[in-house]
Amino acid sequence: MPCWRVAWYVSRTFDPVATVVLAEPAVANLDDVIVTHSLPLTTRTRVRASLEPLATFPLIGSRLEGRWQGFRFILGPWPWMLVVCEYDETKDEVGVATIADSRSASAATSQRGRR
């Protein structure tokens, strides 16, 4: 997965276990959501804060099924913002695959098309 390294340090109060990276599509998805939902200028900072726990607890979040099997999701700074990620134990890295509106029919948690 081509990744864009996150250019911030999680916190100086603890030693992060995993590196958190954003795939290029996740960055593009976030940019799109910022525009389409008219989100505030603080959105990127809020998303970073939502991702911080992944560095210490890389397996948090609910597991996904179907085409997203192997991925987990957490909610972003708003309850509708879905952050889909996967943990690579060998690299000790959490890769954020996409960021989307969970209310969308094409969201990873959508029941549409599941049997």
Mean pLDDT of 4-15: 46
CATH of the domain at 44: 3.30.2310.20
Task: Examine residue 66 and state whether it is found in any structural domain, yes or no.
Answer: yes
Task: Examine residue 4 and state whether it is found in any structural domain, yes or no.
Answer: no
% of the chain exceeding 90 in pLDDT: 71
Whether the model clears a pTM of 0.85, i.e. scores above it, the answer is no
> What per-residue confidence (pLDDT) applies to 74?
97
* pLDDT exceeds 80 at position 106: no
| Strands in 10-80 per DSSP E | 19-23, 62-63, 72-75
Q: Look up the domain containing 66 and give its range.
A: 17-101
Task: Examine residue 69 and state whether it is found in any structural domain, yes or no.
Answer: yes
Q: Cα dist. 7→10, 70, 77, 79, 100 in Å?
A: 10, 26, 19, 25, 21
* Tokens describing residue 4: 């864009």
Task: Examine residue 88 and state whether it is found in any structural domain, yes or no.
Answer: yes
* pLDDT exceeds 60 at position 16: no
Q: 57-90 pLDDT, tens per residue?
A: 999 999 999 989 999 999 999 999 999 999 999 9
- Number of separate domains in the chain: 1
